[in-house]
């Protein structure tokens, strides 16, 4: 049976074997844009404008990953201020992504009611505004550049950002109530997977891309791993993980938990920023290779660059959805495949979407 999945930042097709219960699933993505090739021979700074356009929902992560990959090549120095401010905006993107994913992508798989869309947008518009106060606009700014940030923000800006965070804190109980509502008719043990997790402190030499037209599967040391909020927040939500392991319940719990974890983190960061420091320290341009590994909303994001005479010679992007949604084999299934096997078909949409898929990122 073939099932087209939409509303996931693009589309995917599932080729399903089995009648009532899923025996096997092949995952297919269709879009391919060739951004890595497009970057070749362009000035390295142009990547800061092109790469956010990989994705409309996590483009800021691609910006930060680009700036860091170039900095790695240049061995650039950064002020604490620039590091803190970038962490703020990256966290904001993760928060915004999770809230939109929860209410706009995931919620309708169980509960269809427009009011949840507007609840999400009321929240996410504030987050976009907080990013814009620092970075000029959202989506698609290019304020993070090798050596720091372009903006010279003031405490006036930070005061506004902080107050947005304090406003958002008030949503906490309401969102957890909606979380409980979502699981009202859904077995919490559904969608257990490989129980193998990967976060950004990995050994990049063990990451391997395997061609699977038109995109690439990604293994780590030969196996498929799960990356993303559950991998990051596992320790913080130990009590949930102990009981439900890597089921849809833990996976969704981790994402909702991370929203408020990062809101609190950002309030703390604002208290630590010293605006007397430099926003930008001009780096020394050298021809070299560099890479970056960051935690984007959906998990590990890797950018690799090779710069020759200020031009991009080679660029490579590995996105979180490639890790989680690879099309593996029955002996070695990816996290999403394993989660769907032996489950009833009626839960398929929810299980698949609980990985927070980004098809446009896969089709970079």
Partner 1 sequence: MHLKPKVIWIDAIGCNGCSHSFFNLPYLSTLLEKLDILYHPLLESDEFKIQESDILVIEGALKDIKKFDSNLLTIIEKLFVNTKRVIALGSCASFGGMFGEGLIFNKEKLGKFYPCKNKVINLPGCPIHPEWLGYIFDMLIENKPILLDEENRPKEIYSFVSHSGCIRNEYFDWKVDSDDFGSKEGCLFYNQGCQGPFTHSSCNKILWNEVSSKPRAGTPCFGCTERNFPKENLFKTDTMMGIPSKIPLGVTKRAYLTLAGIAKSLKNERLEKRLFEYEKTNNKNRG
Of 145-153, 190-198, 229-237, 293-301, the window that binds partner 1 (rule: CB under 8 A) is: 145-153
Nearer to partner 1, 143 or 225 (CB): 143
Span of 39-47, 204-212, 241-249, 313-321 interacting with partner 1 by CB under 8 A: 39-47
- Who's near 7: CB < 8 A, 6+ residues apart? 104, 105, 108
Nearest by Cα to 291 from 276, 280, 302, 307 = 302
Q: Enumerate residues 15-34 that contact partner 1 by CB under 8 A.
A: 30-33
Looking only at residues 331 through 360 of this chain, which bind partner 1 when binding is defined by CB under 8 A?
A: 360
Q: Does 213 bind partner 1 (CB under 8 A)?
A: no
Query: Among 145, 237, 248, 340, which residue sits at the site for partner 1 (rule: CB under 8 A)?
Result: 145
33 CB-near residues (< 8 Å, 6+ apart): 363, 364
Interface residue with partner 1 among 16, 36, 53, 186 (CB under 8 A) is: 53
Beta-carbon count within 10 A of 336 CB: 29
Identify the residue among 136, 208, 210, 221 touching partner 1 (CB under 8 A): 136
- CB-nearer residue toward partner 1: 7 or 196: 7
Rule CB under 8 A: is residue 138 a binding residue for partner 1? yes
The most distant pair of C-alpha atoms in the chain lies apart, rounded to whole Å, by 64
User: Do 283 and 50 contact (CB within 8 A), yes or no?
Assistant: no
Main-chain dihedrals φ then ψ at residue 194, nearest 5 degrees = -75, -15
Are 351 and 28 spatial neighbours (Cβ–Cβ below 8 Å)? no
Residues 148-177 that bind partner 1 (CB under 8 A): 148-152, 154, 160
Nearer to partner 1 (CB atom), residue 164 or residue 237: 164
- 79's torsion region: left (phi>0), alpha (psi -120 to 50) or beta? beta
Tokens for 275, please give them.
Answer: 């605006």
Per CB under 8 A, the segment of 15-23, 99-107, 301-309, 336-344 that binds partner 1 is 99-107
**Judged by CB under 8 A, which stretch of 142-150, 173-181, 186-194, 253-261 contacts partner 1?**
142-150
Q: Cβ 153 to partner 1, closest distance in Å?
A: 8
E strands, 213-327, are 215-220, 226-227, 288-296, 299-308, 311-318
User: d(Cα 224, Cα 333) in Å, to the nearest integer?
Assistant: 7
Determine which residue in the list 137, 159, 169, 264 makes contact with partner 1, applying CB under 8 A. 137
Please say whether the beta carbons of 305 and 106 come within 8 A.
no
DSSP strand pairing (197-198 vs 226-227) = parallel
46 near partner 1, rule: CB under 8 A: yes
Is 140 a binding residue for partner 1 by CB under 8 A? The answer is: yes
Interface segment toward partner 1; rule CB under 8 A; list 172-180, 258-266, 277-285, 332-340 = 277-285
| By CB under 8 A, residue 11 contacts partner 1 | yes
Q: Is 128 in the site for partner 1 (CB under 8 A)?
A: yes
Chosen residue from 21, 210, 272, 286 binding partner 1 by CB under 8 A: 272
């Amino acid at each position: 049976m073939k099932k087209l999945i939409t509303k996931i930042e693009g589309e995917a097709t599932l080729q399903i074997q089995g009648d009532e219960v899923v025996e096997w699933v092949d995952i297919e993505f269709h879009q391919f844009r060739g951004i890595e090739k497009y970057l070749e021979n362009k000035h390295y700074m142009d990547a800061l404008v092109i790469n956010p356009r990989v994705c409309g929902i996590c483009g800021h992560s691609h910006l930060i990953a680009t700036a860091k990959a170039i900095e790695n090549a240049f061995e650039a120095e950064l002020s604490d201020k620039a590091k803190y401010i970038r962490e703020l905006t990256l966290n904001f993107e993760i928060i915004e992504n999770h809230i939109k994913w929860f209410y706009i992508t995931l919620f309708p798989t169980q509960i269809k009611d427009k009011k949840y869309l507007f609840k999400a947008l009321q929240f996410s518009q504030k987050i976009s505004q907080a990013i814009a106060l620092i970075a000029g606009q959202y989506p698609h700014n290019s304020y993070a550049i090798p050596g720091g940030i372009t903006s010279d923000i003031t405490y006036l800006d930070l005061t506004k950002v902080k107050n947005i965070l304090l406003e958002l804190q008030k949503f906490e109980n309401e969102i957890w109530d909606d979380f409980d509502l979502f699981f009202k008719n859904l077995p919490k043990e559904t969608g257990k997977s490989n129980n193998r997790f990967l976060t950004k402190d990995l050994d990049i030499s063990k990451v391997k891309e395997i061609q699977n037209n038109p995109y690439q599967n990604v293994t780590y040391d030969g196996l498929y791993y799960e990356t993303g909020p559950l991998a990051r927040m596992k320790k913080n939500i130990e009590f949930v993980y102990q009981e439900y392991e890597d089921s849809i319940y833990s996976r969704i719990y981790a994402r909702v938990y991370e929203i408020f974890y990062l809101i609190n983190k950002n309030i703390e960061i604002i208290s630590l920023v010293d605006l007397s420091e430099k926003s930008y320290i001009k780096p020394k341009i050298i021809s070299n290779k560099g890479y970056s590994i960051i935690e984007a909303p959906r998990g590990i994001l890797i950018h690799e660059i090779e710069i020759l005479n200020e031009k991009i010679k080679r660029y490579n992007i590995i996105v979180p959805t490639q890790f989680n949604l690879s099309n593996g084999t029955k002996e070695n299934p990816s996290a999403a495949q394993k989660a769907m096997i032996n489950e009833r078909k009626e839960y398929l949409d929810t299980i698949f979407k609980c990985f927070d898929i980004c098809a446009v990122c896969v089709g970079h």
